[in-house]
Structure 1
Amino acid sequence: MNVFWTIVLGLVNAVVVGALVRRLITVGTGALRNTLVSLVMGLSIWPVTLQAFEMLQITQRGDVPFLGMSFPAVMVFLLIFGWFLTIQLYVMLAIELVLPSGSFTQVARTAARMPSWYRTTRRLWEIQGILFRFGLRRYLKPRMPSLRVSRRELARTAAEALAAAGVSFVKLGQFVATRADMIPSEFVEEFSALQSEVPPVPFSTIRPELEKAWGRPLEEVCREFDEEPLAAASVAQVHRAVLHSGEEVVVKVQRPNLRRQVRADSAIIMNLAERFENSAQWAKSIGLVEIARGFVESLAEELDYRGEARQMTILGRSVAQVSTALGGRAGSGAPDDAPRGGIVRIPEVYGALSGERVLVMDRMAGRPLSRSAEALAGTSTLVRREMCEQLFMTIARQMLDTGVFHADLHPGNIMVAPDGTLGLIDFGAVGRLDARDRRDVLTLLLAFDKQNSQAATNAVIDMFGMPPGTDLRRMQREIGQIMLRFDSGGAEEPSQSADPTAAGRSGGAASGFFRELLDFVFDHGFAMPTAVAQAFRAITTLEDSLRKLDPRSDLLGLVRSHGREVLAGSRNLRKTLDDTALYANATLPALASLPIEVSRVVKHLQDGSLDIGTSGLTTDLIRNLVRTVVDQLVQVVLATALVLGGVVMMAFDFGPPLAEQLTIFTYFGAWVLMAGMVLAGLVLAPALRDRRALLW
């Protein structure tokens, strides 16, 4: 037979064999590998058949296949075709075992990611060098060597290492400082002092980012733009500008090429957290991986200024509600030129000019509260008291009414204007409390004021749950002891001439109570939700800021004075009725079907067919599982029987001859053996499929 017909027959066989194999098995039959193997096998069928004819002394006449072929030649060709199909099936399974499907695609993806992996690896070695340089490598040991180094020294050294590591790690330290529920106080204090001040990016680099975000030249948007930034931080820098409409604004623009570094650092932070948690007991005890994961998620959100703009809009509504509730006047003792609409302000966002990497907002007048001691010294007591009241009411409404609140209320984030107004800035840390947590936080404040340890304990259990084996009475007693230590009724009032700075450092009764409560929660193994931890931090930092505004300020006193207003905002009658109606709509169908369900249970009890607690193992699931196992067992037994039977039949060389060197018994034994091999391959294929699912 000429070469042409050999190739034609080989291609036809390749198509047929490939299609049959893909129908028989569902693994290892990717288009590329199946095509290549089918071509090799298909082009080999006829040459092998000719060799078999020669060995078995079967004569093949003519140059065209099948034309003029004898009956024995046709039977042998069909047998060889069947065995080639079986061999290809096992070849595909073997390739799948060594090189699972998708490996070539995975290799291509890996090659594409090599530059990124190189940068990440180089950055990881840099971080490792910083750990060695600051002597932190030893803390990867199973036990923290606290006998040699004090916790304060360790916290200070860790803060220095974070500062040396750059942008993302400074942010990590600042984030960790907000988790006083998990981190010792020494670390909180040292990490809180971390500053993200860095040299500003040249304006020539910033300008293209602004024009890209605005879609037009800078001069078409701003009448004035200060190239020298007001502040430069690790993530962004802030510039003063004046729009063509006359408004004075600040423009917060993200540093160029920051996201690539943040992505690499985020991967490194997760890697280091996993290594610490696997090798050091102290890291495992505080759940370091979960802390790192929360930081990576919050950092990703912080890099998108659209979320910050939405948060500012929501917080602005709560400020407007407080202004309306308090009469829209800056205060009875405020200067005559004090602006109407309330003392506390939130910058207005210019949505048309803001986006993912640029945020444009009103410029808040004044100086930070942390640097306003001299200005406040000349302010009357009435004005300072009014400022405290409105700041408290604003945050209380945010936390207990809307549930979205400014979570970082330290004095640096509160601006004090010459006219007595206050401005809140830096909305990167915003907390969110659901309705149930809001109720529990309010209960804690009121219970502390009333020295009701039972109500406080109930609120703590509702917020954090109760660890197994907890002694409820002992827990209530310990919370009661904390409340007694910070009883405001026995606290001494600060003197009129008290130094506001000193007052801010000492803290008030409420902040002391919440700090002690955080230690209690941490020591007893409670799971602290991030939102609740942010609320606790907001309360403690708020009281410190209030005492800087007015040394006589008392957060619990404000709760007592304005408790009715806070309750009116968070629990109004209409909202309660709406919640009740919603709950009724959700529960009425279940109540309506309750008699039928009770009757069904009673019937099952009467006839003894009640089935209790199968942990998700239904009767149908068990039946299907048993059927699958039995089917596979039967297939294995049948395949084994066919293979053994085929071998035995081929071993006994007797019966009528099909060809000179081939008997009928041997011929059909080869078919039986082939059937057993195919059945065994079909049993093996699902196991490879399950293996691939586990690998990927």
Structure 2
Amino acid sequence: MNLLWTILLGLINAVVVGVLVRRVITVGTGWVRNTVVSLVIGLSLWPITLQAFSILGITDHGAVPWVGLGFQAAMVFLLLYGWFIVVQMFVLLAIELVVPSGSFTTVARSASRLPTWYRRVRRLIQIQRILLKFGLGRYLRPRLPSLRLNRREIAKTTAEAFAAAGVTFVKLGQFIATRADMVPIEFVEEFSKLQSEVPPVPFAQLEPELVRAWGRPVDEVFAEFDTVPLAAASVAQVHRAVMFDGAEVVVKVQRPKLRRQVRADSDIVLTLAQQVERRAGWARKVGIVKLAAAFVDSLAAELDYRGEAAQTIALRRADIAHDDSLVRIPEVYTELSGPTVLVLERIEGVPLARAGTRLDRLSALARRDLAEQLFEIVARQVLTTGIFHADLHAGNIIIDGGGRAGLIDFGAVGRLDKRDRRDVAILLVAFEQQNSQAATSAVLDMLGAPVGVDVRELQRDVGQIMMQFQTAPGGYSALFSQLIEFFVDHGFAMPSTIATAFRAISTLEGSLKLLDPQLDLLDLVRAHGEGLLAETRSMSGAIEDAKLYAATTAPLFAEFPARVSRVVQHLEDGTLDIGTSGLGLDSIKELVRSLVDSLVQVVLSTALILGGVVMMAANFGPQLTSELKLFTYFGGWILLGGCTLAAIVLAPSLKNRSL
């Protein structure tokens, strides 16, 4: 019967102690852990009390727990009860220190992700084996004394490893090739050669994606659909189709399960970038983590074909006035396009890279006209409209049998605001006219002036590049490569938009050379530059800009006298506050108050603990029991109060700690 009463009252005590502890401290008192600890404490309270009574010489306790206790037994029991509460608080805080709240929930949630983690780790190991296979491990060491001498070797080997690692890493290499503002030119040149040639996916695997995108079978959308693709790449493949009205189109459809693989590989790219940046100084200098993050964002955007459709429409509208142009931009069938499917007007022909036979049948004058129109369209895109095809290599230019050209693949599109367009135009014309002062002004306006730059010395350096450009072969591609390297070496922070525009013009020059080997881009700039520059600084546009500027600044001038008056008033009152609005006087007061309160609590708890220990150690005063003196008893209460206050002070420090 006594045992039954002990268990029953122990359970009741567990509830009481648990509630008290949750009210005193709020950290680490979750229901599960608090209930378990409370049960252990509650069920052990009476047996331990009986043992304490025996040690202290108390024998006048009743047969039923807590019933019939004498004065001495009740006093000792109350002290033990308080200590059990304090012990439970410290036990819970110790558990919180070792196993923070929510750990079990996190573990349970993480268990469901184990298959994904397994695939990711397996893929990471596969990528690391590829890197080691190509001997890249030696380049991840913290010190590379011969890095400059081996840069070309590193770039070539890395490009080969990326090609072996799959689509995401091929795209990463192609992306790096566009960032000549951040990476050495050797990497740009080697990564520009990366191509992802893969066998096509059987149409049976693509058809469900098409049906899902259109909500109906393929034969209800098109009168004809060629299941054999016209072209296949690592991301998508292109099929020819015929609409019911007879119009020929191309259907660009993304490979199945590609996004899942790209997401997993993107995480690996970020992980590898962090590892490399920690280990190698050259990676920290390049900012490889930032570069990897920009790549992940750009790849995610590239895999959504709605962006490419919008960009194609924007470029087509910008050039719609030139219906008689020799260069065509395809029409987009927006009603049939979506995130993974893009339907475009078909431009018949072969890529410029393989159009040698067709070009040979054209006269030199026809090839020259086509090259000039292509240059004029792209130059107008860059300098006038501000949206331009950023990757016009020879594979993205189609030549038909009549000597006309078509532009395809608008996944890589650049954008320049009005001010940058004007600066790029001035820079091109300034190089043609050998005007280093105008070129330097355009550079400073585009990129800003680095700290401590000597503008006159900078102008001399730009003039030297101009002189080399006039006498050395290589064209604008060599010029822009040299300019980018020059800007980086002089500490300019080059925006990616400007670097993309430079790369677009450089890439276009290589394609124009295939159309007309005798073509000189400098002559085209000389012939069309002034007209394009005039478009960027037209009088009507300047007037409109001035009106807009006046409209935005007029209120500031109108408010200026009132603002000066308020400043003077604050000076007279002695209430002028300069640069402290972000601090907040109330928040400072609250911070100081909380620090003082915490300090007082720490000092008070320390004093109580020391006082309690001293009183217990003194062991003097009247006898409360045969083995316990009164001062020792009160010392136990004082020590209990100090420990309770210490637990209250300690609990908040565990709440937001970083593990």
Fold-level match, TM-score > 0.5?
Answer: yes
Name the structure 1 match of 2:635.
669
Matched residues in 2 for 1:89 and 1:581: separation? 70
CA contact (8 A) 1:507 1:544 kept: no
What are the residue-to-residue correspondences of 1:591-606 with 2, within 5 Å?
A: 591-599=557-565, 601-602=567-568
Name the structure 2 match of 1:499.
none
Matched residues in 2 for 1:372 and 1:475: separation? 44
CA contact (8 A) 1:443 1:456 kept: yes
Name the structure 1 match of 2:30.
30
What are the residue-to-residue correspondences of 1:16-95 with 2, within 5 Å?
A: 16-52=16-52, 57=58, 59-61=60-62, 63=64, 74-95=74-95
SS in 1 for 2:239: strand
The counterpart of 2:420, out of the listed 428, 434, 437, is 437
Task: Tell me the amino acid that sits aligned with residue 19 of structure 1.
Answer: V
Matched residues in 1 for 2:603 and 2:579: separation? 36
Matched residues in 1 for 2:380 and 2:449: separation? 29
CA contact (8 A) 1:53 1:59 kept: no
| 1:542 Cα deviation from its structure 2 partner | 2.0
Distance verdict in 2 for CA 1:10–1:345, change over 3 Å: farther
Name the structure 2 match of 1:479.
462
Matched residues in 1 for 2:312 and 2:148: separation? 47
Task: Tell me the amino acid that sits aligned with residue 274 of structure 2.
Answer: E
| 1:537 Cα deviation from its structure 2 partner | 0.2
Structure 2: stretches of 5+ with no match in the other structure? none
| 1:129 Cα deviation from its structure 2 partner | 2.9
Matched residues in 1 for 2:243 and 2:527: separation? 43
Task: Tell me the amino acid that sits aligned with residue 487 of structure 2.
Answer: V
Distance verdict in 2 for CA 1:13–1:397, change over 3 Å: farther
Distance verdict in 2 for CA 1:41–1:104, change over 3 Å: same
Aligned: 1:535 with 2:518: no
CA contact (8 A) 2:428 2:529 kept: no
Q: How big is each residue's C-alpha offset from its partner over 1:374-399, in whole Å with a ceiling of 9 and x where there is no partner?
A: 32344356644543444334323433
| 1:640 Cα deviation from its structure 2 partner | 0.8
| 1:608 Cα deviation from its structure 2 partner | 7.7
Distance verdict in 2 for CA 1:32–1:386, change over 3 Å: farther
Matched residues in 2 for 1:31 and 1:401: separation? 66
Q: How big is each residue's C-alpha offset from its partner over 1:434-454, in whole Å with a ceiling of 9 and x where there is no partner?
A: 344333323322332333322
Matched residues in 1 for 2:328 and 2:17: separation? 77
Task: Tell me the amino acid that sits aligned with residue 523 of structure 1.
Answer: D
Name the structure 1 match of 2:102.
102
Name the structure 1 match of 2:239.
239
Q: How big is each residue's C-alpha offset from its partner over 1:249-302, in whole Å with a ceiling of 9 and x where there is no partner?
A: 222222222233323322333333333333333333322232222222222222
Task: Tell me the amino acid that sits aligned with residue 410 of structure 1.
Answer: H
Q: How big is each residue's C-alpha offset from its partner over 1:403-445, in whole Å with a ceiling of 9 and x where there is no partner?
A: 3321101121111223443221112222233344333323322
Aligned: 1:344 with 2:327: yes
| 1:100 Cα deviation from its structure 2 partner | 1.9
Name the structure 2 match of 1:304.
304
CA contact (8 A) 2:418 2:536 kept: no
Task: Tell me the amino acid that sits aligned with residue 481 of structure 1.
Answer: Q
Matched residues in 1 for 2:521 and 2:32: separation? 72
SS in 2 for 1:355: coil
What are the residue-to-residue correspondences of 1:240-259 with 2, within 5 Å?
A: 240-259=240-259
Distance verdict in 2 for CA 1:595–1:18, change over 3 Å: farther
CA contact (8 A) 2:251 2:341 kept: yes
**Count of residue pairs brought into register by the alignment:** 658
Matched residues in 2 for 1:634 and 1:154: separation? 62
CA contact (8 A) 1:642 1:675 kept: yes
CA contact (8 A) 2:2 2:63 kept: no
CA contact (8 A) 2:185 2:481 kept: no
Distance verdict in 2 for CA 1:261–1:572, change over 3 Å: same
CA contact (8 A) 1:653 1:665 kept: yes
What are the residue-to-residue correspondences of 1:506-545 with 2, within 5 Å?
A: 508=475, 510-545=476-511
Name the structure 1 match of 2:270.
270
With 646-655 and 450-459 compared, the bigger mean Cα shift is at 646-655
SS in 1 for 2:266: helix
CA contact (8 A) 2:425 2:529 kept: no
Distance verdict in 2 for CA 1:417–1:22, change over 3 Å: farther
Name the structure 1 match of 2:208.
208
Distance verdict in 2 for CA 1:546–1:619, change over 3 Å: same
CA contact (8 A) 1:347 1:364 kept: yes
| 1:611 Cα deviation from its structure 2 partner | 6.4
CA contact (8 A) 2:330 2:408 kept: yes
Name the structure 1 match of 2:336.
353
Distance verdict in 2 for CA 1:83–1:134, change over 3 Å: same
Name the structure 2 match of 1:453.
436
CA contact (8 A) 1:10 1:45 kept: yes
Aligned: 1:635 with 2:601: yes
CA contact (8 A) 1:395 1:406 kept: yes
RMSD: 3.4
Aligned: 1:426 with 2:409: yes
Q: How big is each residue's C-alpha offset from its partner over 1:182-225, in whole Å with a ceiling of 9 and x where there is no partner?
A: 33433333322222111112222222232233332222223222
| 1:74 Cα deviation from its structure 2 partner | 5.0
With 234-243 and 544-553 compared, the bigger mean Cα shift is at 544-553
What are the residue-to-residue correspondences of 1:672-683 with 2, within 5 Å?
A: 672-683=638-649
Name the structure 1 match of 2:319.
319
Name the structure 1 match of 2:346.
363
Name the structure 2 match of 1:470.
453
With 17-26 and 190-199 compared, the bigger mean Cα shift is at 17-26
With 566-575 and 209-218 compared, the bigger mean Cα shift is at 566-575
SS in 2 for 1:629: helix
Task: Tell me the amino acid that sits aligned with residue 120 of structure 1.
Answer: R
Structure 1: stretches of 5+ with no match in the other structure? 331-341, 492-505
Distance verdict in 2 for CA 1:17–1:442, change over 3 Å: farther
Matched residues in 1 for 2:436 and 2:25: separation? 67
Matched residues in 2 for 1:233 and 1:537: separation? 23
SS in 2 for 1:200: coil
Matched residues in 2 for 1:592 and 1:667: separation? 78
SS in 2 for 1:486: helix
Q: How big is each residue's C-alpha offset from its partner over 1:634-657, in whole Å with a ceiling of 9 and x where there is no partner?
A: 221111111112223334445566
Name the structure 2 match of 1:133.
133
Matched residues in 2 for 1:53 and 1:25: separation? 30
CA contact (8 A) 2:616 2:633 kept: yes
Distance verdict in 2 for CA 1:613–1:71, change over 3 Å: same
What are the residue-to-residue correspondences of 1:490-501 with 2, within 5 Å?
A: none
The TM-score with structure 2 as length reference comes to 0.89
The counterpart of 1:391, out of the listed 374, 391, 401, is 374
Matched residues in 1 for 2:316 and 2:7: separation? 78
Matched residues in 2 for 1:44 and 1:661: separation? 23
| 1:557 Cα deviation from its structure 2 partner | 4.6
Matched residues in 2 for 1:135 and 1:379: separation? 48
Matched residues in 1 for 2:194 and 2:521: separation? 28
